[in-house]
Structure 1
């Protein structure tokens, strides 16, 4: 029977030489330097035509730039959102993808002009609703448009470090999360685990709306919920309170209509 050492030596001599066999046996020899593959010949270019590029790395890349400083006051930011929604509601929203120049510009920093605290509902994407593009909105979304401790931290980051001058708490008609909270109050529905945790912050808005005996309790609770959230944000942290007092920040609530695509702002 052929010994393991002889077999290794025979295999190694045919593949990479004696050092590989010695390394397999545990001898302290350095590995041979890897061989560089021979370059592949390029096909000859047609006469008068440029030679084809063979790798992605050979394509030109946009020059690196720095994100420009955006200086905008809260009222101007609100006006941009209103204008963008008017475009979206009449079916004229731009669906063009951002250019490579824009993507590269944003790789160096961001300056969103507004923070949108919205619902996770797939029918209400803020960038589309307000006809905005990459880098313009800082979005915090959770079902029911509520704000957790983590959500507040995200908002503070966008205000303090990114300079966003506007916060919009955006609800929408026929919100399922608010509907679930309404069922808990009026039908004593049982929600298990995290679903109850989702509905719990909305229940005060349902109770306040219910006290006014509205014709449509769910719709009234949706609007009351975003109003309460916006009001609580105004005193949730001294950074927000200070910027509100100095006029550098505005916090408003709003409601998006699924049927008309229009946003109604509460100012």
Structure 2
């Protein structure tokens, strides 16, 4: 059966090989049922008294997830690497599907789960807010193994988060980083209250909003009337800008054209993600 993402990508004018790579389409792995079928055939080969009986027994064993015997050799060729532009286009396309109510909510098959147990190849890193309404896999119409997600309230990045990002880029080959904020962000709203109303937060909550306060002060100079919304957008833009030089691996891949870092904002009311690129 043709992959849903290859069909959608073709309709959107995107490269099918890149989409197949990002989706994880490739040579099918033998399922448990297939292996069981082989064990059954092995047992029958010892029990059958003649070739005709053996042939009849083997014909009755039909693995559920095996590829057709006539599948072309090209189907087993390694998929091409996804470029930063292709990865960004895929996220935009997936969000367009989600925003119009056509998102795919099907769970991955057991075969896909087993395949991912051997390794991962996410096509994008998404730095998002911990808000329960902003799950990147849903709003970008993605599935297991496609996105490498780092989430904390306010979409901020500490040292541990930076290490996760560098790992995804350097060791998993992710060509795109998206810093994703969202409207009505409570963490940014708290930072606005601290900066403008001198509200007091205790312990870890205070530490959570501290990295956001510079964005609040910057936004206050240009958009004081709608400070929270302006600070949300300024915050993710500032983080994306800092990430470009935060680590030598990231800076080198950006210079080589192998990595792109962008900011974006998700609208809770419409489901639409607005990208700054």
**TM-score under structure 2 length normalisation:** 0.72
Q: CA offsets per residue over residues 187-216 of structure 1, 9 Å max, x none?
A: 000000000000000000000000114321
Contact 1:255 1:263 in 2 (8 A): yes
Greater CA deviation, 212-221 or 235-244? 212-221
Question: 1:34: which partner in 2?
Answer: none
Change (3 A) 1:107 1:213: closer
**67, 74, 82: which one aligns with 2:92:** 82
- Count of residues in Structure 1 that have an aligned counterpart in Structure 2: 205
User: Is it true that 1:261 corresponds to 2:271 in the alignment?
Assistant: yes
> What is the CA–CA distance in structure 2 between the aligned matches of 1:161 and 1:69, rounded to whole Å?
17
Question: 1:182: which partner in 2?
Answer: 192
Q: CA offsets per residue over residues 94-117 of structure 1, 9 Å max, x none?
A: 110101111111111000000000
Deviation at 1:69, TM superposition (A): 5.2
Question: Looking at CA atoms only, which structure, 1 or 2, has the larger radius of gyration?
Answer: 1
**225, 235, 260: which one aligns with 2:235:** 225
What's the Cα RMSD here?
1.6
1:32-181 matches, cutoff 5 A: 71-181=81-191
Contact 1:256 1:262 in 2 (8 A): yes
Deviation at 1:183, TM superposition (A): 0.1
- Partner of 1:215, secondary structure, is helix
Deviation at 1:243, TM superposition (A): 0.2
Question: 2:248: which partner in 1?
Answer: 238
Q: CA offsets per residue over residues 30-80 of structure 1, 9 Å max, x none?
A: xxxxxxxxxxxxxxxxxxxxxxxxxxxxxx8978xx9x6561000000000
- Partner of 1:211, secondary structure, is helix
> What is the CA–CA distance in structure 2 between the aligned matches of 1:185 and 1:177, rounded to whole Å?
12
Greater CA deviation, 175-184 or 210-219? 210-219
Name stretches of at least 5 consecutive residues in structure 1 with no aligned partner.
Answer: 1-59
Contact 1:69 1:111 in 2 (8 A): no
User: Counting helix residues as a fraction of each chain, which structure ranks higher?
Assistant: 2
> What is the CA–CA distance in structure 1 between the aligned matches of 2:113 and 2:224, rounded to whole Å?
47
Contact 2:266 2:274 in 1 (8 A): yes
Question: 2:48: which partner in 1?
Answer: none
Contact 1:115 1:138 in 2 (8 A): yes
User: Is it true that 1:211 corresponds to 2:221 in the alignment?
Assistant: yes
Question: 1:19: which partner in 2?
Answer: none
Stretches of 4+ moved more than 3 A in 1?
60-63
Question: 1:23: which partner in 2?
Answer: none
- Partner of 1:254, secondary structure, is strand
